[in-house]
């Protein structure tokens, strides 16, 4: 039973959303192989809350997803924001710490030494049941984006906004009538997509969170085999590709969710056959969170979640929803249909104009990716070339060299857009989420260019 | 340069091929040098690709839940020892 009012009243009169929208006997998580009820969870949240400082913010870098959940909830009950670093590297964590007065680091790794206050989680600590009435205006989470354009910008999420968006998300994440199910994910809880699908879905929805973050296909298979009852796998194209290539057997699943990069339709079809379930792609960005979906094998077009509206302005596609404080310009260009569906056309900053012609980096990248033998690729601008837009490409292939890629592009791409140079590289510097930070691409390009690696 | 065992040599070729390390030759990979971080500089996605290639060739499925696996992936030598200890003869190979 949902404890909140429905949407018959103006937003301002909503009751403050509770920490949990589930019964005390529900199993909220599987931790170390054991089910954890909501009542047990709340006692642990109480224990964790006692160990947190009175003010400041919590940089939660817990690797164990359940410990992350306990830490996140404890911070909320104390009115402390959780800061979500894009990776757990010392420098990333310390940079956030330096920018947030009074912030401390919450980790589940004993002995983690940082030049910042560190709180180590204690799985055995319990305390008085915490206050679960959370003022909606509480700054609940700050996500630091690692997008392909520009540098890191903090995205502030109020508790009210997270709860409202989770209500919408849950309708599309999980098929109706699934009953009780467990969510297993390869995505870190610190990523917006991981936070929404694995953490908020457990607090506000019906999901049982699995505490693991299986990495290799054998880990994913073993984790899924050990879950009893229906299971939803939340992952990314990089991991899902490895699962199919591994040759391992996988159990039937209730559903697979994929996000962070487009999934090839052929791969989606293989996954659907392998796991006997629907593969659903989620589209979102850290500024907004999840906002649209498609079943890849059936639709090229995404459909917006209920309550979202998209409009094309001259310089950006703008998304609005009741829970967003203001309309948000998207980093991607959407080709909107009259029925509210859309195609992902490209990233705004990816628009390339050369000699009066225009294309997008996404399109050039897609063309390179479509060449048989190409495993991964990215086309990008070479900065610092005054007065002209030069494209370059980094390409991953086991069988092709730069000139072969160039030959394959010549028939399908206007010569002005064919990247030069095309550098063959062993892999692209994708973040764990699958994203490809622009600065990492340029670093790899400069390094590869300097040694003339596999250049055409 | 240290001498590579047969399996180390095979794995070195596989790593260079799978990851398309165009600036590195298989026989130049030092068996005790770290594959990740300061060594060959591989990342977690590379690890995923190497794991899939090893599964396909040797029938050995790598896992990552414990310190033992981190040791397996420490360098070419530890990886080769693990593969030799766990490999299954695949039909037709």
**Looking at the domain covering A355-451, what would its CATH class be?**
alpha beta
* Residue B92 resides in a domain: no
pLDDT band at A387 (very low <50, low <70, confident <90, very high): very low
Separation of first and last alpha carbons in chain B = 30
Q: Any CB–CB contact under 8 A between B38 and chain A? A: no
What φ, ψ does residue A163 adopt, rounded to 5°? -70, -45
Model confidence over A143-187: pLDDT tens digits? 986 433 334 578 999 999 999 999 999 999 998 888 899 999 999
Residue of B nearest to A244 (CA): B52
Residue with the larger pLDDT of the pair A111 and A355: A111
Containing domain of residue B66, as a range?
6-86
Tell me how close the Cα of B2 comes to any Cα of chain A, in angstroms. Answer: 24
Q: Cα angle vertex A64, ends A63, A69, to 5°?
A: 105
Tell me how close the Cα of B51 comes to any Cα of chain A, in angstroms. Answer: 7
Q: Which among A245, A247, A451 is the nearest to B23, CB-wise?
A: A451
- Residues in Cβ contact with A212 at an 8 Å cutoff, skipping those fewer than 6 apart: A64, A65, A184, A219, A223, B65
pLDDT at A455 over 80: no
pLDDT band at A350 (very low <50, low <70, confident <90, very high): low
The region that residue A435 occupies, defined by phi over 0 for left and psi between -120 and 50 for alpha, beta otherwise, is beta
* Residue B25 resides in a domain: yes
Distance CA A177, CA A165 (A): 21
pLDDT at A2 over 60: no
In this predicted structure, what is the pLDDT of residue A289?
94
| Chain length of chain B | 93
Q: Any CB–CB contact under 8 A between B44 and chain A? A: yes
In which element (H, E) is residue A368 found?
helix A361-369
In this predicted structure, what is the pLDDT of residue A431?
84
In this predicted structure, what is the pLDDT of residue A6?
44
* Residue B79 resides in a domain: yes
pLDDT band at B67 (very low <50, low <70, confident <90, very high): low
Name every chain A residue with its beta carbon within 8 A of the beta carbon of B44. 215, 432
**Looking at the domain covering A11-345, what would its CATH class be?**
alpha beta
Distance CA A338, CA A334 (A): 12
In this predicted structure, what is the pLDDT of residue A144?
80
Model confidence over A245-290: pLDDT tens digits? 999 999 999 999 999 878 889 999 999 999 999 999 999 988 899 9
ipTM over 0.90: no
Q: What is the mean pLDDT of residues A332-354?
A: 76
The share of chain B scoring above pLDDT 90, in percent, equals 27
Name every chain A residue with its beta carbon within 8 A of the beta carbon of B45. 238, 427-428, 430
Q: The tokens of A199 are what?
A: 């953490």
Residue of A nearest to B40 (CA): A426
Burial of B2 (0-12, 13-18, 19+ CB in 10 A): exposed
- The residues with which A310 forms a beta bridge, in sequence order, are A319
Model confidence over A55-104: pLDDT tens digits? 999 999 999 999 999 999 999 999 999 999 877 778 778 989 999 999 99
Residue of B nearest to A64 (CA): B65
Neighbours of A390 (CB within 10 A): 15
Residue of B nearest to A223 (CA): B65
Tell me how close the Cα of B39 comes to any Cα of chain A, in angstroms. Answer: 15
Rg (CA), chain B: 12
* Mean pLDDT computed over every residue of chain A: 87
Q: Where are the domains of chain A?
A: 11-345, 355-451
* Residue B14 resides in a domain: yes
What φ, ψ does residue A113 adopt, rounded to 5°? -105, 125
pLDDT band at B74 (very low <50, low <70, confident <90, very high): confident
For chain B, the domain total comes to: 1
pLDDT at A351 over 50: yes
Binary contact (A426, B21; C-beta < 8 A): yes
Model confidence over A35-59: pLDDT tens digits? 999 999 999 999 999 999 999 999 9
Q: Any CB–CB contact under 8 A between B25 and chain A? A: no
Is the Cα torsion angle A180, A184, A189, A191 positive or negative in sign? negative
Residue B51 is part of a domain; what is its CATH number?
1.10.1200.10
* Residue B91 resides in a domain: no
Q: Any CB–CB contact under 8 A between B90 and chain A? A: no
Tell me how close the Cα of A424 comes to any Cα of chain B, in angstroms. Answer: 8
């Amino acid at each position: 039973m949902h404890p909140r009012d429905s949407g018959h009243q103006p937003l301002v009169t909503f009751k403050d959303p509770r920490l949990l929208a589930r019964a005390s006997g529900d199993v909220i998580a599987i931790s170390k192989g054991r089910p954890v009820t909501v009542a047990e969870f709340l006692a642990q949240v109480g224990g964790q809350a006692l160990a947190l400082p009175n003010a400041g913010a919590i940089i939660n870098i817990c690797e164990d997803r359940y410990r992350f959940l306990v830490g996140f909830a404890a911070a909320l009950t104390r009115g402390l924001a959780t800061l979500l670093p894009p990776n757990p590297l010392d420098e990333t964590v310390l940079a956030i710490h330096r920018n947030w007065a009074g912030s401390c680091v919450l980790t589940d790794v004993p002995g983690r030494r940082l030049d910042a206050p560190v709180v180590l989680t204690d799985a055995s600590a319990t305390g008085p049941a915490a206050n679960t009435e959370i003022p909606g205006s509480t700054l609940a989470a700050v996500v630091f984006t690692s997008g392909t354009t520009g540098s890191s910008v903090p995205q502030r999420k109020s508790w009210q906004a997270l709860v409202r968006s989770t209500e919408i998300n849950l309708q599309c994440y999980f098929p109706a009538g699934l009953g009780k199910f467990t969510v297993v994910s390869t995505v870190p809880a610190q990523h917006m997509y991981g936070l929404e699908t694995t953490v908020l879905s457990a607090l506000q929805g019906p999901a049982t969170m699995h505490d693991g973050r299986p990495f290799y296909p054998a880990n994913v298979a073993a984790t899924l085999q050990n879950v009893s009852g229906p299971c939803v796998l939340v992952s990314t194209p990089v991991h899902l590709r490895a699962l199919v290539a591994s040759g391992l057997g996988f159990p039937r699943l209730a559903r697979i969710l994929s996000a962070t990069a487009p999934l090839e339709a052929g791969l989606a079809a293989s996954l659907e056959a392998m796991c006997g379930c629907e593969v659903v792609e989620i589209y979102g960005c850290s500024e907004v969170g999840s906002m649209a979906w498609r079943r890849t094998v059936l639709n090229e077009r995404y459909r917006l979640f209920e309550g979202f509206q998209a409009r094309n302005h001259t310089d950006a596609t703008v998304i609005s929803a009741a829970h967003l404080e203001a309309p948000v310009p998207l980093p991607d260009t959407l080709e909107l249909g009259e029925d509210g569906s859309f195609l992902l056309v490209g990233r705004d900053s990816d628009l390339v104009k050369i000699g009066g012609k225009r294309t997008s980096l996404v399109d050039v990248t897609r063309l390179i990716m479509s060449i048989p033998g190409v495993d991964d690729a990215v086309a990008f601008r070479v900065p610092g070339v005054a007065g002209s837009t030069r494209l370059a490409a980094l390409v991953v292939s086991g069988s092709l060299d730069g000139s072969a890629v160039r030959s394959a592009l010549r028939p399908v791409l206007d010569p002005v857009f064919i990247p030069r140079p095309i550098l063959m590289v062993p892999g692209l510097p994708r973040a764990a989420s699958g994203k490809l930070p622009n600065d990492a691409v340029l670093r790899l390009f400069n390094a590869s260019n300097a040694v003339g690696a596999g250049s055409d | 340069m240290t001498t590579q065992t047969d399996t180390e040599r095979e794995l070195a070729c596989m790593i260079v091929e799978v990851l398309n390390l165009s600036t590195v030759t298989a026989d130049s990979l030092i068996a005790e040098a770290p594959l990740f971080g300061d060594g060959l500089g591989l990342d977690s996605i590379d690890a995923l690709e190497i794991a899939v290639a090893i599964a396909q060739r040797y029938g050995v499925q790598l896992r990552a839940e414990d310190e033992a696996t981190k040791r397996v992936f420490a360098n070419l030598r530890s990886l080769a020892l693990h593969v030799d200890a766990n490999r299954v003869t695949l039909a037709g190979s």
